[in-house]
Amino acid sequence: NAGVTQTPKFQVLKTGQSMTLQCAQDMNHNSMYWYRQDPGMGLRLIYYSASEGTTDKGEVPNGYNVSRLNKREFSLRLESAAPSQTSVYFCASSVFSNQPQHFGDGTRLSIL
């Protein structure tokens, strides 16, 4: 099993460009999440999807949009990238929202 797969692993963007980060899980999980990790700040929730067909804002949603394409896939879109969005982005999934989360290996995004 691959678990949670994130693509791409690395990306460099210029300010103002758009980009979609992809996430897919093969564990038949209902809930999926997007976090960003910045030094000294732990993980902060951007958006989450408690179940297929629903999405909700997390702690830091500004500048991002998400799509729960189907039960397996949950994408994160930056419409107009800003240097403040330079970060490591993690996707996670769980059977239900009150169960332990399984994480992908992250996408390292730099915005110049």
Partner 1 sequence: AQSVTQPDIHITVSEGASLELRCNYSYGATPYLFWYVQSPGQGLQLLLKYFSGDTLVQGIKGFEAEFKRSQSSFNLRKPSVHWSDAAEYFCAVGDSTSGTYKYIFGTGTRLKVLA
Report the interface residues with partner 1, using CB under 8 A.
4, 33, 35, 40-45, 48, 50, 56, 58, 90, 92, 96-98, 100-106
Q: How far is the CB of 45 from partner 1 (least distance, A)?
A: 6
Q: How far is the CB of 14 from partner 1 (least distance, A)?
A: 25
Q: Which amino acid is at 107?
A: T
Q: In the complex with partner 1, which residue's Cβ is closer, 14 or 39? A: 39
Strands 10-13 and 107-111, how do they pair?
parallel
Q: How far is the CB of 32 from partner 1 (least distance, A)?
A: 12
Q: In the complex with partner 1, which residue's Cβ is closer, 17 or 93? A: 93
Residue with tokens 């949950």: 74
Phi, psi of 47 (to 5 degrees): -145, 160
Burial 60-85 (b: 16+ CB within 10 A, else e): bbeebebebeebbbbbbebeebeeeb
Q: In the complex with partner 1, which residue's Cβ is closer, 33 or 78? A: 33
Cβ of 33: how many Cβ atoms within 10 Å?
24
Q: In the complex with partner 1, which residue's Cβ is closer, 22 or 97? A: 97
